[in-house]
Every structure is written in C-alpha cells, then in structure tokens.
Chain A
Amino acid sequence: KQEVTQIPAALSVPEGENLVLNCSFTDSAIYNLQWFRQDPGKGLTSLLLIQSSQREQTSGRLNASLDKSSGRSTLYIAASQPGDSATYLCAVRSDNYGQNFVFGPGTRLSVLP
C-alpha cells in the first residue's frame, strides 16, 4: 500500500525567506507526482506535475524536484510572500494500487509580513 507523508506538518516563516517542503512516499514505482495548494475553505489548485521520467519542474518562484529511488519530492518556494500562506499537499500516482492519486496530509504554511 502506498503511503505518503509530509514534513513538517506546519511551518511559519518571515516574508522573503526561501523555504523547502518535503514529501515522502513508500513505493517508488510511481507514474507521477503532483503538488497542490489549498486555501481555507477552497478546493485544491494544481501547482506542478512531475512525470516519473522527470527530475524537476519549475513555475515562477516554485521548483519541485523528484527522486524516485529515495521516495522523495521537495517543493522549493523562493522569496516567500504572505500570499503564499496556504496548505501544500503532494499526491502520488502509483503504477500499482489502481494508479490513483494517494495524498499526503499536507504542510500548513504561514508567511508573516
């Protein structure tokens, strides 16, 4: 069974800092991995999708990396802003387990002005 964990559960940083969010998964036979952002009372907004053949993806101030062999992905946020405050979730689509997304519990990020 694929299990996804995210560390830390919560993070508070001052505005302008660069930060890293971590995602770990137990089964490295993945198809792809997707990072989402969730604002309070809202659905999930897709940030980056990394296919299993890729090492990283970039969008603006966001960079996501994937290391399948070690079962890890990181989301790097450069020059954080208060508007980045949200919960960040990673989801793994496995080659096994019906090929459906398994989500981590999320990291709640607060960027202080």
Chain B
Amino acid sequence: EAGVAQSPRYKIIEKRQSVAFWCNPISGHATLYWYQQILGQGPKLLIQFQNNGVVDDSQLPKDRFSAERLKGVDSTLKIQPAKLEDSAVYLCASSLGTGTLGQPQHFGDGTRLSIL
C-alpha cells in the first residue's frame, strides 16, 4: 500500500513569512496527526483529526498555526507568521479506523522547515 505522502520535502523562508505543508494519509485511514520534531528531540503532537473533525489541538500555537482536513482525507498545516523557533521537521502520520487507540501510526518522511 502507498504510504503517507508529504510535500514539500524542504522549505526555507524568512521569519514573518507564511508557509503551508500538505499531507495525504494512507487510503482509508480515518485518523491524521501533525507532529513537530525539533532537532534532537522526539516528535510533539500539534493536532489530531478524526475524519474531518479536530480531536486534540491543545498543543497547537493557534495564534500562528492552523490546520484543516477537508473531506476527511488530505490535510494542510499552515504557519503565519513564522518565527525562528518554528525551524523543525513537520511530520504527518495516519492510523486506521475510528477506534484507533490500539492501531499503530504510520509516518510520512516529513517537511524540513528552516527559518532565516
């Protein structure tokens, strides 16, 4: 089966600019996650979707970050305006079904964001 697809793979922008990332989960996966991974650390959950509804966005900096999952499939994550501390790898993951607590997460290769 095709894996989780993310684009772009790399992005370099200046601070205060805006940027968007795209994720296409594995076909049929109802749950989608966005993580932020700062160099040398484990991923930190930003937002979780169940189909097209938000389940948890408690760690999403809502003053600058936004995410949507239209039609319960693809998702976009946006940062506006970007700060230096947003430099990180942004990972998208998906898991199967609505009762997904027992299901493994499958990750894309991520988007590496550098803020100048």
Question: Which residues of A pack against B, CB within 8 Å?
Answer: 4, 31-32, 34, 36, 41-46, 49, 51, 89, 91, 93, 98-101, 103-106
Question: Which residues of B pack against A, CB within 8 Å?
Answer: 4, 6, 33, 40-45, 48, 56, 58, 91, 93, 101-102, 104-110, 112
Interface centre among B4, B48, B56, B104, by most chain A C-beta atoms within 10 angstroms, is B104
- The SS class assigned to the B binding surface is loop
Nearest neighbor of B101 in chain A, beta-carbon distance? A31
User: Would you give 22 A-B contacts (Cβ < 8 Å), ordered by A?
Assistant: A4-B42, A32-B101, A32-B102, A41-B109, A42-B109, A42-B110, A43-B108, A43-B110, A44-B105, A44-B107, A45-B107, A46-B104, A46-B107, A51-B102, A91-B42, A100-B33, A100-B45, A100-B56, A103-B44, A104-B42, A105-B41, A106-B42
A-B contact count (CB 8 A): 54
